[in-house]
Amino acid sequence: MLSDRLQQVSAHLPKGVHLLAVSKGHPITSIKSFLDLGQCDFGESRLQEALPKLIALQEFEQLRWHFIGKLQKNKIRRVVRSFAFIHSVDSFDLAQRVSRIAGEENKSPKVMIQVKFREDPTKGGFDPENLCKEWPNLAVLPHMRIVGLMTMSPISVESEERRTLFRECRQLANQLQLPECSMGMSSDWKEALQAGATWLRLGSSLFGQRPNHFNLNTDITKSS
Ligand SMILES: *Cc1c(COP(=O)(O)O)cnc(C)c1O
C-alpha cells in the first residue's frame, strides 16, 4: 500500500527534512493517491514525460514540481515555467541560462547545484573545487535562488563510503552557507539522512518498481 510506504519513510524524518516523491515512470493516478495522503513535492527527470502530468494535475495548487534530471538547453524555458525547484544545475553555463530565462519568464526557481564527489562518467555535476572557484559568479545570478547542493553516489560505491561522500556534500553546503542538501535515493536514503540530507529523493521505495526502461543512468547521462 502506498500509504504504508509513505508512513515508513515519514516516520524517520526529523524536522527540516523533506521528502521528494520521484514520480517518473509512474502514472497520474499514483501521484493523486500521494496527494490525498498529504505529499506535495514530486520529482520528474524528463520534461516530455512530465508535461502531461503537469497539465492533468494543474488544479492541485499545493503540488510543487521538482526537476531532477539532466536539463537540456532547449527545455529550460518550459521547466522554469512549471517547476518550483531544479535540483540538477550542473554547470555555470546552465546556471546562467536558467537565470536569464527565469528573468524573461518572471520566475524565480529554487535551485540546487549538482556536485560530483566521485568520478562517475554517467553523471554530470560540478567538481567541488571548481564550484568553489565559480561560486562568487554563481551566487550573484539573479532570478533564481540557490538553496542547496544535490549529489548522487556512483552505483559501485559501498554504503560506508556513501556516508562519507554525503558528509562531504553537507560540509561543502555549510561552507557555502546553503541550507539544503538533496541527496539519498531508495537505496541509500538512510546514509544520506545521517549525513545531513534535507531532501530525500525517493522513487521505488514509495511508488514501487518502475518499468525497466526508466533506467536511472539514462536520465542522468551527460548530453552534449
Ligand atoms: C530516479 C531518480 C531518483 C529516485 O530513484 P529511486 O532509486 O527509485 O528512489 C532520485 N534521484 C534522481 C536524480 C533520479 O533520477
Q: What is the DSSP string of 103-114?
A: HHTT---EEEEE
> Rounded distance, CA 35 to CA 6, Å?
11
Q: Is 50 in the pocket of ligand 1 (CB under 6 A)?
A: no
Buried b (16+ CB within 10 A) or exposed e, 64-80: bbbbbbbbeeebbebbb
Domains in the chain: boundaries: 20-68+201-224, 71-197
Q: What is the DSSP letter of 126?
A: B
- Encode pLDDT of 151-175 as tens digits: 999 999 999 999 999 999 999 999 9
Residue 135 burial (C-beta neighbours within 10 Å; 0-12, 13-18, 19+): middle
Residue with cell 521528494: 20
Strands (E), the chain: 18-22, 41-44, 64-67, 85-89, 110-114, 145-150, 180-182, 199-202
What does DSSP say about strands 64-67 and 110-114: parallel, antiparallel, or unpaired? unpaired
CB of 22 closer than 6 angstroms to any ligand 1 atom: yes
With left for phi above 0 and alpha for psi between -120 and 50, is residue 28 left, alpha or beta? alpha
Q: Is the CB of 186 under 6 A from ligand 1?
A: yes
CB 151 within 8 A of CB 115: yes
- Cell numbers 515519514 label which residue? 10
Can you tell me which atom of ligand 1 is nearest the CA of 186? Answer: 9
pLDDT in the model for residue 215: 58
Instruction: Please name the residue that has the C-alpha cell 499514483.
Output: 30
Which of 216, 220, 221, 222 has most ligand 1 atoms within 8 Å of CB, for mutation? 216
Q: CATH top-level class for 71-197?
A: alpha beta
pLDDT in tens, 179-199: 999 999 999 999 999 999 999
CA separation for the pair 10, 144 (Å, rounded)? 29
- Cβ of 125 closer than 6 Å to ligand 1, yes or no, is no
- Can you give the pLDDT at residue 221? 44
CB distance 128 to ligand 1 below 6 Å: no
Nearest CA residue ID for atom 12, ligand 1: 68
Q: Report the pLDDT value the prediction gives residue 222, as an integer from 0 to 100.
A: 43
153 lines ligand 1 (CB under 6 A): no
**pLDDT at position 20:** 98
Terminal-to-terminal C-alpha distance of the chain: 40
The tens place of each residue's pLDDT in the chain, 224 residues long, gives: 889 999 989 888 999 999 999 999 999 999 999 999 999 999 999 999 999 999 999 999 999 999 999 999 999 999 999 999 999 999 999 999 999 999 999 999 999 999 999 999 999 999 999 999 999 999 999 999 999 999 999 999 999 999 999 999 999 999 999 999 999 999 999 999 999 999 999 999 999 998 877 655 444 444 43
**Alpha carbons 20 and 30: distance in angstroms, whole number:** 14
Nearest alpha-carbon partner for 169 in 216, 220, 113: 113
